Copies of this chain bind each other. A is one copy, B any other.
């Protein structure tokens, strides 16, 4: 079998989900790392012409894009036997995992970014409040459990995994505070447990690399926003 390849960026929280999933499955892969300074690679533009975004999985002649779609693909292609399952078996539990994964991306990731990008104080305050409301839903989902999937991590843990390592960086560089340990005790506990899992820990980007990336990224995105009169 040809080796799997994933097109990633060194700092992308969405890319990391795929790396984690392949590690959990025990599959070997090689990384094709995008360098944003040089612009998007030919390989990325050819492989994901629709969105032109990482991550992309190249598997034996086929190309799969969009991180949650790739996770499902990996779980469906390498299943049974000794392969680590990402999604539960039961249709209802699978639906719950998908519902909350979509929620985590649509509300928690987007809400956090919106709060970072807000420039005037009342707008920022409101965006932070909205993000906190969204995280409160996730807090309720994890209460009384070690991981979203139960005793072991699964699909939803991987999707929410950025909270354990990226969120504090995004907060710091964006000048906001959402993920307070007192407000979110169960999510905090979960994040600590999640990040201690060897397959997760061994491929985290160094914090200073993330900080530098988000400082430049936020400044770039802000420069694109139309200025208020």
Residue in contact with A65 in the complex, picked from B72, B77, B99, CB distance below 8 Å: B99
Could you tell me the distance between the alpha carbons of A50 and B70 in the complex, rounded to whole angstroms?
26
Contact count band on A: 20 to 34
Residue in contact with A91 in the complex, picked from B65, B76, B99, B102, CB distance below 8 Å: B76
Taking CB atoms, residues of chain B closer than 8 Å to A59 are 92
Min CB gap A177→B, angstroms: 24
- Decide: A69 and B102 in contact? CB cutoff 8 A: yes
Residue in contact with A64 in the complex, picked from B50, B62, B65, B95, CB distance below 8 Å: B95
- Decide: A69 and B50 in contact? CB cutoff 8 A: no
Taking CB atoms, residues of chain B closer than 8 Å to A213 are none
Taking CB atoms, residues of chain B closer than 8 Å to A65 are 99
- Decide: B102 and A66 in contact? CB cutoff 8 A: yes
CB 8 Å contact bits of A140-160 with B (1 = contact, 0 = none)? 000000000000000000000
Q: Which residue of B lies closest to A77 (CB)?
A: B91
Asked if A124 is at the interface of the complex by the 8 Å CB criterion, the answer is no
CB 8 Å contact bits of A65-89 with B (1 = contact, 0 = none)? 1100110110011000000000000
Q: Which residue of B lies closest to A229 (CB)?
A: B229
Q: When A50-B137, A137-B50 are in contact, do A62 and B92 touch as well, CB less than 8 Å?
A: yes
- Decide: A99 and B62 in contact? CB cutoff 8 A: no
Residue in contact with A76 in the complex, picked from B62, B94, B137, CB distance below 8 Å: B94
Asked if A189 is at the interface of the complex by the 8 Å CB criterion, the answer is no
| Interface residues in chain A, defined as those with a beta carbon under 8 Å from any beta carbon in chain B | 50, 59, 62, 64-66, 69-70, 72-73, 76-77, 91-92, 94-95, 98-99, 102-103, 137
What are 10 A-B pairs with beta-carbon distances under 8 A? Answer: A62-B92, A64-B95, A65-B99, A66-B102, A69-B95, A69-B102, A73-B94, A76-B91, A76-B94, A77-B91
